[in-house]
Amino acid sequence: MQILDGKLVSEAIKAQLATQVAELKAAGKKVPHLAAILVGNNPASETYVASKVKSCAECGYNSTLLRFDEQISEKHLLDQIILLNENADVDGILVQLPLPKHINEELVINTIDPSKDVDGFHPMNVGKMVSGLPAFIPATPYGIMLMLEHYNIPTAGKHAVVIGRSHIVGTPVSILLSRNTNPGNCTVTLTHSRTQNLAEICRQADIIIAAIGKPDFVTADMVKEGAVVVDVGINRVEDATKKSGFRLKGDVKFDEVAPKCSFITPVPGGVGPMTIAALLKNTYHANIGLKG
């Protein structure tokens, strides 16, 4: 069993981006600039956005963090996005989700200029991705593909079972894995809360992508010997022994599943850091042009 070390791989990707950004700077060109919007103070969102901003600095990017109160009106938020769309110095715009209930997320996403949509959530980018055209790929699925690529994991002809059909992870990763690319060329089964015989389907998987948001959901009896398991879950579970009062748990019961796997991602230190590396790659491409 080999651990897929997202921390290590993401550091290598960030080091490469830092070199590329230094070259841009040396050539007198503009460095990438990410603008992140955080509404309210959801503790998980705070952590994610702080990591994104910190990673920008590590790679020599500029970043702007715009924070707004939970009570911000939808109109005011949309106006802020329009200002960022019009600001030629800003390459990438990210609105951290989830947003408060009174704000229409779809409207917010649709307002972001697709050429600055480094989360890849705008329907224009989703449509381009599905069509196999150059597009911003959502960061978590992109990070998973970069991880599979880095470890040269054979995917062609393999049966990949994706658990969870979210727009952020499950749906896009199932599309990416089924494409005629490397990694890719998988036969994909996209499962969800209404799937019957889920355990049986998972047992047929060569690759499992667990993105359901339920701690310890995938147990050893659901995993075939030698499977590749990618755990996307970042579940906060109470733990009185921790200073923070919680610890992170994946969607996979790691201790019992890991011994059966050929490769497995840990939580933390697996998909999480890869998501940030992928976001930085998208932001770099927003700066130099998608096909650059």
Taking the C-alpha atoms of residue 241 and residue 29, their distance in angstroms, rounded to an integer, is 49
Single out the residue of 59, 95, 99, 230 in contact with ligand GUN (rule: CB under 6 A).
Answer: 95
The torsion defined by the Cα of 33, 131, 166 and 256, in degrees rounded to 10, comes to -100
φ and ψ of 8, to 5 deg:
-60, -50
Q: Is 52 a catalytic residue?
A: yes
- Residue 287 as a binder of ligand GUN (CB under 6 A): the answer is no
List residues bridging with 236 in a β-sheet.
Answer: 248
Q: Cis before residue 268, ω within 30 degrees of 0?
A: yes
Q: Which stretch binds ligand GUN (CB under 6 A): 94-102, 175-183, 192-200, 222-230?
A: 94-102
212 contacts 163 by C-beta, under 8 angstroms: yes
The catalytic residue among 96, 117, 158, 253 is 96
CB-nearer residue toward ligand GUN: 165 or 203: 165
SS3 of residue 55 by DSSP? helix
Q: Which residues in 188-224 are b (16+ Cβ under 10 Å) and which e? A: bbbbeeeeeebeebbbebbbbbbbbeebbbbeeebbb
Active site residue 119: yes
3-state secondary structure (DSSP) of residue 179: coil
d(CA 120, CA 159): 26
Q: Nearest-CA neighbor of 137 among 21, 278, 19?
A: 278
The footprint of ligand GUN on this chain (CB under 6 A) covers a number of residues equal to 8
Q: Which of 5, 91, 117, 119 binds ligand GUN (CB under 6 A)?
A: 119
Q: Which is nearer to ligand GUN, 25 or 102 (CB)?
A: 102
**Catalytic one of 5, 14, 52, 253:** 52
Closest CA to 208 of 185, 231, 192, 187: 231
> Where in 163-222 is the site for ligand GUN (CB under 6 A)?
168
- Indicate the residue among 85 and 189 with the shorter CB distance to ligand GUN: 85
In the set 119, 206, 231, 251, the catalytic residue is: 119
**CB-nearer residue toward ligand GUN: 96 or 125:** 96
CA distance linking residue 13 with residue 18, whole number of Å: 9
- 263-264 vs 228-231, strand pairing mode: parallel
| The only residue of 10, 96, 125, 287 in contact with ligand GUN, by rule CB under 6 A | 96
Q: Which residue is nearest to ligand GUN (CB)?
A: 97
| 139 interacts with ligand GUN by CB under 6 A | yes
Only one of the segments 90-98, 145-153, 177-185, 187-195 lies at the binding site for ligand GUN (rule: CB under 6 A); that segment is: 90-98
Binding ligand GUN (rule: CB under 6 A), the pick from 17, 38, 39, 94 is 94
- Active-site residue 249, yes or no? no
Q: What is the x/- site pattern for ligand GUN, positions 140-169, by CB under 6 A?
A: x---------------------------x-
Q: Which residues bind ligand GUN (CB under 6 A)?
A: 94-97, 119, 139-140, 168
Residues involved in catalysis: 52, 96, 119
